[in-house]
Structure 1
Amino acid sequence: MDKSSSQNRAYQHLYPLIDPFDQKMLNVGDGHRIYVEQCGNPQGVPVVVLHGGPGGGCSPTMRRYFDPAVYRIILFDQRGCGRSRPHASVTANTTWHLVRDIETIRERLDIDRWIVFGGSWGATLALAYAETHPDRAAFLALRGVFLMTRSELDWFYGGGAGHFWPDLWADFLSLLPEAERGDPIAGYNRRLFSGDLTTEIRFGRAWAAWENALASINSDGRGGESPPEYARAFSRLENHYFINGGFFEADGQLLDNIGLLRNTPAAVVQGRYDMICPPRAAYDLASAMPMARLHMVTRAGHALSEPGISAELVRVMDGLRDDLGALGLATHA
């Protein structure tokens, strides 16, 4: 199946594309301004969407997972990526800066509690936010769970996934001198932050291509060539977070602190054949949360655009419409 056919199947499950009713650049301090938009029902149930990466940015398609008559849909580009400025900057850019930004958005929009929706790195950030502000997260909708543990990074950047894709893994390593191939995160870090724009773009595209090629279960092994500025920002931000262990104090911190979310309902949507974020993390997370339900999608990989993933996420959000009262949330037409 080609990529366009797979995407068309994914999009048939989604709501029609809508335009924002509100867009702004929000000054969050530290020299950063972030792009924020609102779509759907201005009086609806608020849901904040956390994009992946780090550094992926939000897209118009992300608005389409929610009934626009029911939900007030809030999307934003995290520091350093998308339409946020300064572009590709890692200064004052950590998990905890982003958690603070989410709270700033909530306060500026005068929202008491909201649904937090995130996939991949967005799931990591959703958990970090909810554990910091458990009284503000009414429900977690998580996809392609990534807990930012050493074992997960070793899987994807230490050769684990490379056992399934040895040709692409060899290509990814080939840009580095042999002496640096044992730690590609560090090797790429030196080039992504070299100060030479041509080098940063070259290595940024290679970093992004390795991840993109493994995102879909229907991958033909070609990750595509990302636009240069996108690839540079995405790869610099992702590498910055990974080389710093997500800025967590301890490996496995999110699971260690999961008791803070014992009363938080959640849906965990996971592709059975996710090559980027293997299902073990989703299983461990759902097992540790008394009010979580694991939705294992049988024939799906990692990407948000996977047809089975998209359909299940829409089902989760549509299913919440009958439980909004129990969550302490309400909507107004």
Structure 2
Amino acid sequence: MSELRSFYPPIEPFESGMLDVGDGHQVYWERVGTRGAKPAVFLHGGPGGGCNATQRRVFDPAKYDVILFDQRGCGRSTPHAELEANTTWHLVADIERLREMMGVDKWLVFGGSWGSTLALAYAETHPEHVSELVLRGIFALRRWELQWYYQHGASLMHPDKFEPFREHIPAAERADLISAYRKRLVSPDRATRVAAAKIWSLWEGSTITLMPDQGMVDAFSDEDFAIAFARIENHYFVHEGWMEDGQLIDNAGKLKGIPGVIIHGRYDMATPMQNAWDLHKAWREADFRIVEGAGHALSEPGILHELISATDRFAD
């Protein structure tokens, strides 16, 4: 384990701000590393998760100039937990605005979990502006993937954790849990929204690491985090990402010529290994790394090792 790569030291942004992206949304962004070095953008998960200080540390600060941002409605972006004008394609347009603001023609795009979904959507829309792709915990947002995690699949591996998620919904509505949670997450009653949000968020926070991680559980249980995370995530899933089913895998041919790495934990409960395998088969040029003894989270030692190895390799 001592040979595994780990985080670079903590780093503070050298620049940050709020970008008016229209539709009443202000997006928080920050820039870390060395101004003018290799440009990159970090796409966080969820959707609705927000970026954090730890995520800054997967890039060599001497070799990279990195933008991280809180996607619409979450983190420090405003308005908080807003669902209007908040779709995959709004976010793709926001990434382009940030690239233009940074003044670069191409940049490395780094995304994990929902961030991998957004990275694929962006790269398949603007391949000419992507120098490399580093993707973790592949999530193609297909119907079966949503069913696996929120209806029946991961529930078989974590029945003790899934039971509170299921039991929060009356028996008559349990045939479609995502839709049932939608009703509660958009309820005019704040207490109803908060109760549903905390349970939705806790299900994910307690199942994305291979081994139990109380710190992760606590973070996902925070009320402010949970309300944005659950509302936005559920909003995207109810609408299936505003994409055709299987669109991201079907359009992987648009990635031809873009160097990339696909990194996936063998025992990922949130996004099954099949996702990464399907992308690998559709995008053969990418380096494919299966991490044994790992789940879904960026913080899993084997996954972190592969991610930093990839950013180091592309920096050089």
Task: Normalising by structure 1, report the TM-score.
Answer: 0.91
Q: Secondary structure at the match of 2:128?
A: coil
Identify which of 2, 10, 13 aligns with 1:20: 13
Change (3 A) 1:265 1:226: same
Structure 1's consecutive aligned runs of 4 or more residues displaced over 6 angstroms after TM superposition are none
Report 1:155-194 matches (<5 A): 155-194=148-187
Could you tell me how far apart the structure 2 residues matched to 1:157 and 1:18 are?
36
Q: In the TM superposition, what is the alpha-carbon distance from 1:305 to its structure 2 partner?
A: 0.9
Identify which of 299, 303, 308 aligns with 2:293: 299
**Match in the other structure for 1:233:** 228
The yes-or-no answer on 1:275 pairing with 2:269 is yes
The yes-or-no answer on 1:199 pairing with 2:202 is no
Could you tell me how far apart the structure 2 residues matched to 1:147 and 1:19 are?
32
The answer to whether the Cα contact below 8 Å between 2:116 and 2:139 also exists between their aligned partners in 1 is: yes
Could you tell me how far apart the structure 2 residues matched to 1:123 and 1:275 are?
16
The answer to whether the Cα contact below 8 Å between 2:5 and 2:309 also exists between their aligned partners in 1 is: no
The answer to whether the Cα contact below 8 Å between 1:159 and 1:169 also exists between their aligned partners in 2 is: no
**Match in the other structure for 1:104:** 97
Could you tell me how far apart the structure 1 residues matched to 2:240 and 2:60 are?
36
Q: In the TM superposition, what is the alpha-carbon distance from 1:12 to its structure 2 partner?
A: 7.2
**Match in the other structure for 1:3:** none
Identity of aligned residues (%): 50
CA RMSD of aligned residues (A): 1.7
Could you tell me how far apart the structure 1 residues matched to 2:176 and 2:155 are?
14
The yes-or-no answer on 1:243 pairing with 2:238 is yes
Report 1:64-79 matches (<5 A): 64-79=57-72
**Match in the other structure for 2:74:** 81
Could you tell me how far apart the structure 2 residues matched to 1:265 and 1:223 are?
35
State how many pairs are aligned.
314
Could you tell me how far apart the structure 2 residues matched to 1:145 and 1:315 are?
18
Task: Normalising by structure 2, report the TM-score.
Answer: 0.96
Could you tell me how far apart the structure 2 residues matched to 1:290 and 1:312 are?
18
Could you tell me how far apart the structure 2 residues matched to 1:318 and 1:310 are?
12
**Match in the other structure for 2:305:** 311
**Match in the other structure for 1:29:** 22
The answer to whether the Cα contact below 8 Å between 1:154 and 1:160 also exists between their aligned partners in 2 is: yes
Q: In the TM superposition, what is the alpha-carbon distance from 1:223 to its structure 2 partner?
A: 3.5
